[in-house]
Amino acid sequence: MSYITATHLLETIQDKTLILNNPFYVRNCPEKIFVNKYMKFMPHTLITRNISEIIKFRDEYKNNNKTTIW
């Protein structure tokens, strides 16, 4: 939560000091999730903590040369 609080504090001073990355967008557009707005340009993607979903995804796309599984 300190990260979120810091972005709120930075918003209050952004008119008085140079802040290169707008705290609003840093907080509200996490890069790992935000890219999902551009799915048509991406390979098949899964974001999950569920191990069984990961295994299912891997098995479904393991022979697809457009998918990278780490």
**What is the Cα–Cα distance from 62 to 26, expressed in whole angstroms?**
34
Task: Please give the structure tokens belonging to residue 18.
Answer: 């140079």
pLDDT single digits (tens) 37-64: 888 888 888 888 999 999 999 888 887 7
User: 44 or 67: which carries more pLDDT confidence?
Assistant: 44
Q: How far apart are the first and last CA of the chain?
A: 29
Query: Model-level pTM?
Result: 0.49
Tokens 């069984």: give the residue. 52
